[in-house]
Amino acid sequence: MSRVPGWLGRVGAGLTRMSERLEQRREEARRDDVDEGPVAHSDHARVPLDDTSGHAAEHASGGAVAVAEHPGAPRSGAGDHRPDPAQAVPWGVRVAAEAGWRLLVLAGTVWVLMRVISAVQLVVLAFVAALLITALLQPAVAWLRRHGVPRGPATALTAILGFVIMGLIGWFVTWQVMENIDNLSDQVQDGIDELRNWLLNSPFHVTDKQINEIAKNLRDAVGANTDQITSAGLEGVTVVVEALTGILLAAFSTLFLLYDGKRIWQWSLKLVPAAARPGVAGAGPRAWRTLTAYVRGTVIVALIDAIFIGLGIYFLDVPMAVPLAVFIFLFAFIPLVGAVVSGALAVVVALVTQGVFAAVMTLVVVLAVQQIEGHILQPFILGRAVRVHPLAVVLSVAAGGMVAGIGGAVVAVPLVAVTNTVVGYLRAYSREAVLRQTPKPHGATSTDAAPAADRVPGPPKTPDPPRPPADGPPSDTAPA
């Protein structure tokens, strides 16, 4: 019995050593999982922990040696294995952050671009106007070239005729306004008197004293703002000078774009990085076709509006019918907003000159023509080449007007249409490039990946003849 405690002590010491070796093996496996990944984990998992053979003992002793080689390694529970901070951030927050800084970069780029454009606004508007005029006149140059006229004379003839026609239209409008301004002022005064009498006899109970007070307040407002009106007149002189400068820039730009537009485009492509050059080279002609379709369609629609509304107000004896028709033609280049403004101007002139009945009939004519234009002419003439949502039209016109006034409102919609075309083409081009770079499937994979319509059953193939053994002589009966 005296030897029992010694035997129990040896058993306890053996169990303690076994537990220490097991703890060392667990620590080693944990370190290998952290350092080497799931492959090391699978290797350790293949070693049976309950193996009492000599192999398990050797593996355990090897683990002890491994632990001995790293005396500073932490034991189980002592190590603090914290995850990577980037992995600790939720996925939605990471996506929002990635998108956020990119949007900030884009917003900064747009802001800088808008500052640059506002600094050289006159040059930008003149060049954009030159692009629009070139899109309108370029078919005439192409027609003359096809009939044997050299490029220089064809360009000069088209540009001269185009600017002469525009100048004649402007002169005719000015002449009509100056000829009818006296008659119009008298008719406006008569219309104001009729409006005053109608207000006095209306159910609104407006008195003559109230009307006189309103007129006195208007005169006082004009007298109090005389300095502002004078400064506005001086600013008007500056505006006239800037307008003449812009017209000259637009004329010279149009001349060179008509004569040498292709080489200018090829030179512009050299500024694009080589990797993006093929896509931009394909998007350019499509953008030009969209712009040309927009300008031609808008001119045709504006001309139809001006002719029919002008005829309507002419038969209603509204004065200055021809200048009003020209204003309707010009304002038609501002989608939605221009039609409303020009129609309201015609209705107001009819109201103050011919009375309420003529104003109502003018409104009916304007609305009828604009409804026919919006639902029949524009879809038929413009077609799918220039298809922009009405909300995009309104927002782009408003933004263009806020940034660059009337000129910005005019060029906003064609800019949006061209951008839509370019973005759509580049997206399709990138998808095609990805498909071209993707390796085609082979064998059974290609048969499974092919569409059902492409898998047409063909004639049965003849089985190949048996081949001779690789280590034997060729068979004499094998076909040549």
CB 311 within 8 A of CB 369: no
Per-residue model confidence as pLDDT tens digits over 305-330? 888 988 988 888 887 788 888 888 88
Q: To 10 degrees, the CA torsion angle through 289, 295, 300, 304?
A: 150
Q: Of the ranges 18-27, 83-92, 243-252, 391-400, which is most confident?
A: 243-252
The model's confidence at residue 476, banded by pLDDT at 50, 70 and 90, is very low
Which pLDDT does position 223 carry in this prediction? 60
Q: Examine the pLDDT at 176 and tell me if it is beyond 80.
A: no
Which pLDDT does position 128 carry in this prediction? 87
Q: Examine the pLDDT at 104 and tell me if it is beyond 90.
A: yes
Structure tokens at 202: 């209306």
Structure tokens at 214: 């309103």
- Those residues with Cβ within 8 angstroms of residue 254's Cβ, 6 or more apart along the chain or in another chain: 130, 133, 134, 137, 159, 162
Q: Which of 413, 408, 403 is nearest to 335 (CA)?
A: 413
Per-residue model confidence as pLDDT tens digits over 200-235? 777 766 777 777 777 677 666 656 655 555 555 545
Q: Examine the pLDDT at 398 and tell me if it is beyond 70.
A: yes
The model's confidence at residue 457, banded by pLDDT at 50, 70 and 90, is very low
Percentage of the chain exceeding pLDDT 90: 2
Higher local confidence (pLDDT), 197 or 332:
332
The model's confidence at residue 456, banded by pLDDT at 50, 70 and 90, is very low
Query: Other C-beta atoms within 10 Å of 242: how many?
Result: 14
pLDDT mean over 379-394: 72
Phi-psi region of 148 (alpha: psi -120 to 50; beta: other; left: phi over 0): left
Q: Please give the helix or strand (H or E) that residue 333 lies within, else none.
A: none
pLDDT mean over 94-117: 88
Q: What is the DSSP letter of 3?
A: T
Which pLDDT does position 468 carry in this prediction? 46
Q: Which of 134, 130, 122, 411 is nearest to 246 (CA)?
A: 122
Which DSSP string corresponds to 365-426?
HHHHHHHHIIIIIHHHHHTTTS---HHHHHHHHHHHHHHHHHHHHHHHHHHHHHHHHHHHHH
pLDDT mean over 118-143: 87
Q: Examine the pLDDT at 368 and tell me if it is beyond 80.
A: yes
Calculate the average pLDDT of the chain: 74
Q: Which of 461, 458, 463 is nearest to 479 (CA)?
A: 463
Q: Examine the pLDDT at 62 and tell me if it is beyond 50.
A: no
Amino acid at 296: R
Going from the C-alpha of 32 to that of each of 18, 57, 186, 430, the distances in angstroms are 21, 19, 100, 44
The model's confidence at residue 103, banded by pLDDT at 50, 70 and 90, is very high
Higher local confidence (pLDDT), 334 or 219:
334
Q: Which of 376, 369, 350, 349 is nearest to 308 (CA)?
A: 369
CB 41 within 8 A of CB 94: no
CB 306 within 8 A of CB 279: no
